[in-house]
Amino acid sequence: MKFTVNGEPTEATPRAGQALRTLLRDTEHFEVKKGCDTGDCGACSVLVDGEPVHSCVYPAHRIEGHDVTTVAGLGTPDALSPVQQSFVDAAGFQCGFCTAGMVVTASTLTEADPADLPRLLKGNLCRCTGYRSIRDAFAGITNVTPRPCA
């Protein structure tokens, strides 16, 4: 099966029933986190053809011919993406476990109405409950202070 990860051509043979998250970690994309593994927390979020998915419940066999982007594909340590930089500037993390997924999802929301952010972010949970600084990070990319997350 051929697909791209962060622009790199990749070949892999998924096991029966394998989820995209485990396929990505099997190919050393350890930036894709394992959280709940049931599609609830968003820690494993990646983009498939630019759309955010929870990779722990996304069937790996569906990825053939598609483009996957992880948090590592959004920028580099020397050239952070605007969303990554906004999370750094706002210290939008505590333990950081949710951060990769938050940043991946946020990268699709730069044009969103800030009033919609609580709804749009409901698929990404922070077990540290550090939502205030995460909201500040979103404010940095949208230039408007969003309403408090529910």
Q: Which residues fall within 8 angstroms of residue 30, CB to CB, at 6 or more apart?
A: none
Q: Closest distance between ligand FES and the C-beta of residue 9, in Å? A: 25
Three-state DSSP state, 52: strand
- Which run of H or E residues covers position 67? strand 67-69
Binding-site member from 5, 23, 41, 90 for ligand FES (CB under 6 A)? 41
Three-state DSSP state, 5: strand
Name the token pair of 111: 């044009």
Binding-site member from 2, 15, 119, 127 for ligand FES (CB under 6 A)? 127
For ligand FES (CB under 6 A), the number of binding residues is 22
Q: Closest distance between ligand FES and the C-beta of residue 67, in Å? A: 20
Interaction between residue 118 and ligand FES (CB under 6 A)? no
- CA 92 to mean position of chain CA atoms: 14
Q: Which residues bind ligand FES (CB under 6 A)?
A: 34-37, 39-44, 54, 56, 93-98, 126-128, 130
